[in-house]
Amino acid sequence: MKRKLFIMLTLMFTVLSTWATPPQQPHKSEAEKFVQNLAKIKSDEISYAYISANMFKQLFIKTDLDEEIQESISFIKSLKSLRRFFTNGKQGYDVMKAALQPLLQEKEEVLGMTLMASNRDGGGMVAIYSGLGNTLVVTDYGNNTTITVVFVAGLSYESFLEFNDLGINFY
Amino acid sequence: MKKILFTLTILLLATGSLVAQEITNPELKKFIEELNASENGARNVSKDEEKGIYVINSVDKESYKALSAIIEKYDIYFAEEIFGMELMFSTRESGSQTTIFQGDTYGLAITDNAHSLDLVVIIVKGSAAKLFFEIRETGDAEIHSHEVYFNNRDSDVYIGESSITGERPAELIDISEAESIERRIPGDIILELFDYYMPMIQELKRRAQNATSKEELKMLKASADSIRDVWEAEIALIDYWIDQRVAPGEVKIPSTGKVFIVIPKNAKSGIYEWINSTDFCNTEGQEYNILTATQVAMLYTTKKKEPNIGWNLESYSDSIKTYFASEIPGNEPTYLYRRSITAEGYERMKNDLQQFFYLDGKNKNHRYKGFKTIERIDTNEYCFLHLYDGCTTILIYDSPTGKHCQMDIIVGGIETFNDAMNEISINGKRDIFKEENIIICDGKIELMEGEVDINGVTYDSGVHFTTGYMKKLK
């Protein structure tokens, strides 16, 4: 009897525990979490912008862009958000550079993304990472002042290239 | 930013299109109650329950802190969804953050300027972002500043020709690069190029809107791309030229043929920085020019063709002609002049130069921008200053009664013009200017023979540099 009661109580507790569990946050990739944390760095020398997919589409579709671009954008259903960071001073640059170390090393695999392209020129570098449907572009201008990071959640590398073809570039 | 949100609020109040309902979302209601309950400091609160608008903003440090604490408690600045509303956009720049959430029923906009302790929260029944767009489409200038997210070179996402307004040259080059280039290239050159190329692109864009086939559209797009490439290449070329310069000089814009004066990026003398500053370059009501050795040579050639010049220019030796015809690196007798041509120009110039007049000529350690007074002449009609910083000579002539001011700068390691003669060596031969009896006057070369009287001082030979006023004395 005691054993039955124990099993029943255990089952009830398990069920109640499940009910009591708060709703899970939508799953975020390692890269998304990394960029989300990046947004917590506050500095007068770091500009930050977040644009939701809705906003992004509204902006484009409601303007006088040619149909080809509008259609292409509307087809990218997976687009979730766009984040951009931009440093404009030594202090902001140093802070951002330290935070971006995993990405600036141009490893072939990092934060669940694959290095798709990189280029070094005149002390600067550009690296494009993509994985799990997200794309990230990091640009170090090599002037000890400017680093930009653009992270587009929900944009595959193929779509990213498609945007490029349309003349919409992310720096 | 506050102004933008204020405009937004006013427009919202004016629309009257919102459904008259009180806030029903329990979480949002609680949030508003907390904002209201905060009693620290002074706050401004305005409500229009009929239209469903609620605005609260901080007025002092205490209220800023209190409201900030509530915002932080809800982690609003880092949330992508709150009170059933989706984060539409958020920007942070120079200590100021703006965040807008949009839901099916409500909209929330917050702007927070930590530097000015200014925090504004706006809650609307309806869609804040949607209204934001409606306002934006009216072309409200204030709202345009919101578009920095997308197409202003000052920040953020760079979107090529497909920028929203298509009015700015943001598609030319990456924003950050543009900023760094602009620091070297005078803004006038950027504008000149913009005025030259942008109409071409706009025309192609206009034609693209009326294109009747995909092929035509592609062709027009390719043409626009090609123009942008040329534009970009020209900027890169000009940037390179400026980068290569070691002294102030002219740059001719290949596309337009217009000539601009540029100052080298890494000028050795601090005076260059000043010359290159916005204040100095604001020469409205003034005449401003720089002559390099090459230009001097050109003037020389020009004068040679003038029949009534009165000088036997043929008597110039080959060596001086060679000198004038080529710039000698590090030894360019670059000459810059700036003179007022209107009363307003005079006032501005006097204002820019006033610190030089305060220099104590008797104290050789008293300097301004590195310059000390070598000579000062004060009369009832004018004041003349001869200044030197160990590298550059400045002559300033000020006539308050005549409302005329002139400044001449000669660059190079010379203190006096007699020194210049001794410093400049051509083919190992010194005193060549002395032999040639040359005066540079108002940017022109004139030969003189025998003695010349400049400001009461008699020079028997040499390179004499005179201001416009001194020319009258001659």
CA B443 to chain A, closest CA, distance in angstroms equals 39
Single-letter code of the amino acid located at A94: D
Q: Provide the domain limits for residue A41.
A: 30-165
Work out the pLDDT band at B263, boundaries 50, 70, 90: low
Best-predicted range by mean pLDDT among B185-199, B222-236, B444-458? B222-236
Q: Judge residue A20's burial from the number of C-beta atoms within 10 Å of its C-beta, 0-12 exposed, 13-18 middle, 19 or more buried.
A: exposed
Which residues in B lie closer than 8 A to residue A70 (C-beta atoms)? none
Listed residue (B272, B277, B397) closest to B336, CA to CA: B272
Question: Above 80 in pLDDT, residue B158?
Answer: no
User: Is there a domain that residue A22 lies in?
Assistant: no
What is each CA distance from B51 to A105, B121, B249, B406, in whole angstroms? Answer: 54, 16, 63, 64
Residue B464, C-beta contacts closer than 8 angstroms, at least 6 positions apart: B417, B439, B440, B448, B452, B454
Query: How many Cα atoms sit within 13 Å of B234 on the Cβ side?
Result: 22
Listed residue (B83, B82, B99) closest to B91, CA to CA: B99
What is each CA distance from A102 to A97, A129, A149, B192, in whole angstroms? Answer: 10, 11, 13, 42
Single-letter code of the amino acid located at B2: K
Over residues A79-83, mean pLDDT: 86
Average pLDDT, chain B: 61
CA B278 to chain A, closest CA, distance in angstroms equals 20
Per residue in A123-167, pLDDT tens? 788 888 999 889 999 988 888 889 989 898 988 888 888 777 766
CA A76 to chain B, closest CA, distance in angstroms equals 17
Do residues A26 and B80 make contact, with C-beta atoms less than 8 angstroms apart? no
User: Is there a domain that residue A153 lies in?
Assistant: yes
Task: Answer yes or no: do B92 and A47 touch at CB < 8 A.
Answer: yes
Do residues B182 and B242 make contact, with C-beta atoms less than 8 angstroms apart? no
The backbone torsions φ and ψ at residue B39, rounded to the nearest 5 degrees and listed phi first, read: -105, 0
- The three-class DSSP label of residue B224 is helix
Work out the pLDDT band at B250, boundaries 50, 70, 90: low
H or E stretch at B41: none
Question: What pLDDT score was predicted for residue B200?
Answer: 86
Task: Answer yes or no: do A66 and B159 touch at CB < 8 A.
Answer: no
Domain count, chain A: 1
Do residues B16 and B46 make contact, with C-beta atoms less than 8 angstroms apart? no
Single-letter code of the amino acid located at B290: I
Question: Above 70 in pLDDT, residue A102?
Answer: yes
- Chain A nearest-CA residue for B79: A36
CA B257 to chain A, closest CA, distance in angstroms equals 30
d(CA B113, CA A55): 23
More confident residue, A66 or B128: A66
d(CA B279, CA B369): 15
Per residue in A107-116, pLDDT tens? 889 999 998 8
Torsion of CA B312, B314, B318, B320, to 10 degrees: 40
User: Is there a domain that residue A12 lies in?
Assistant: no
- The three-class DSSP label of residue B79 is coil
User: Is there a domain that residue A152 lies in?
Assistant: yes
Closest in A52, A63, A64 to B89, CB measured? A52
Residue B222, C-beta contacts closer than 8 angstroms, at least 6 positions apart: none
Closest in B86, B171, B175 to A54, CB measured? B86
Question: What pLDDT score was predicted for residue B403?
Answer: 86
Task: Answer yes or no: do B176 and A86 touch at CB < 8 A.
Answer: yes
Do residues B471 and B448 make contact, with C-beta atoms less than 8 angstroms apart? no
d(CA B317, CA A72): 71
User: Whole-angstrom distance between the N-terminal and C-terminal Cα of chain B?
Assistant: 60
Listed residue (B258, B328, B319) closest to B293, CA to CA: B328
Q: Judge residue A23's burial from the number of C-beta atoms within 10 Å of its C-beta, 0-12 exposed, 13-18 middle, 19 or more buried.
A: exposed
Do residues A79 and A152 make contact, with C-beta atoms less than 8 angstroms apart? yes
More confident residue, B50 or B2: B50
Lowest-confidence region among B239-243, B281-285, B432-436: B432-436
Which residues in A lie closer than 8 A to residue B155 (C-beta atoms)? 47, 49, 86
Whether ipTM > 0.90 holds is no
Question: What pLDDT score was predicted for residue A72?
Answer: 64
- Residue positions counted in chain B: 474
- Chain A nearest-CA residue for B95: A44
- Chain B nearest-CA residue for A60: B164
Closest in B133, B157, B171 to A84, CB measured? B157
User: Is there a domain that residue A14 lies in?
Assistant: no
Q: Judge residue B65's burial from the number of C-beta atoms within 10 Å of its C-beta, 0-12 exposed, 13-18 middle, 19 or more buried.
A: middle
Question: Above 80 in pLDDT, residue B207?
Answer: yes
CA A9 to chain B, closest CA, distance in angstroms equals 34
Question: What pLDDT score was predicted for residue A31?
Answer: 92
Single-letter code of the amino acid located at B177: E
Do residues B39 and B65 make contact, with C-beta atoms less than 8 angstroms apart? no
CA B186 to chain A, closest CA, distance in angstroms equals 20
- Chain A nearest-CA residue for B174: A171
Over residues B31-59, mean pLDDT: 75
H or E stretch at B335: strand B335-340
User: Is there a domain that residue A21 lies in?
Assistant: no
Task: Answer yes or no: do A81 and B80 touch at CB < 8 A.
Answer: yes
Question: Above 60 in pLDDT, residue B345?
Answer: yes
Question: Above 60 in pLDDT, residue B328?
Answer: no
Work out the pLDDT band at B35, boundaries 50, 70, 90: confident
More confident residue, B54 or A90: A90
Residue A92, C-beta contacts closer than 8 angstroms, at least 6 positions apart: A43, A44, A45, A46
Beta strand B464-466 with B438-441: parallel, antiparallel or unpaired? parallel
Tokens for B130, please give them.
């949607």
d(CA A134, CA A79): 9
Which residues in A lie closer than 8 A to residue B84 (C-beta atoms)? none
Estimate to the nearest angstrom the gap between the alpha carbon of B292 and the chain centroid: 24
What residues form DSSP beta bridges with A49?
Answer: A84, B91
Which residues in A lie closer than 8 A to residue B87 (C-beta atoms)? 50, 52
Question: What pLDDT score was predicted for residue B352?
Answer: 83
Task: Answer yes or no: do B78 and A36 touch at CB < 8 A.
Answer: yes
Question: Above 70 in pLDDT, residue B105?
Answer: yes
Do residues A54 and B161 make contact, with C-beta atoms less than 8 angstroms apart? no
Task: Answer yes or no: do B156 and A166 touch at CB < 8 A.
Answer: no
Percent of chain B at pLDDT exceeding 70: 47
d(CA B108, CA B435): 80
Place of tokens 């671009």: A69
Question: What pLDDT score was predicted for residue B428?
Answer: 35
Return the DSSP state at A150. E
User: Is there a domain that residue A78 lies in?
Assistant: yes
Closest in B160, B176, B214 to A148, CB measured? B176
What is each CA distance from B75 to A96, B71, B92, B136, B387, in whole angstroms? Answer: 22, 6, 15, 28, 60
Over residues B168-197, mean pLDDT: 52
User: Is there a domain that residue A36 lies in?
Assistant: yes
Q: Judge residue B449's burial from the number of C-beta atoms within 10 Å of its C-beta, 0-12 exposed, 13-18 middle, 19 or more buried.
A: exposed
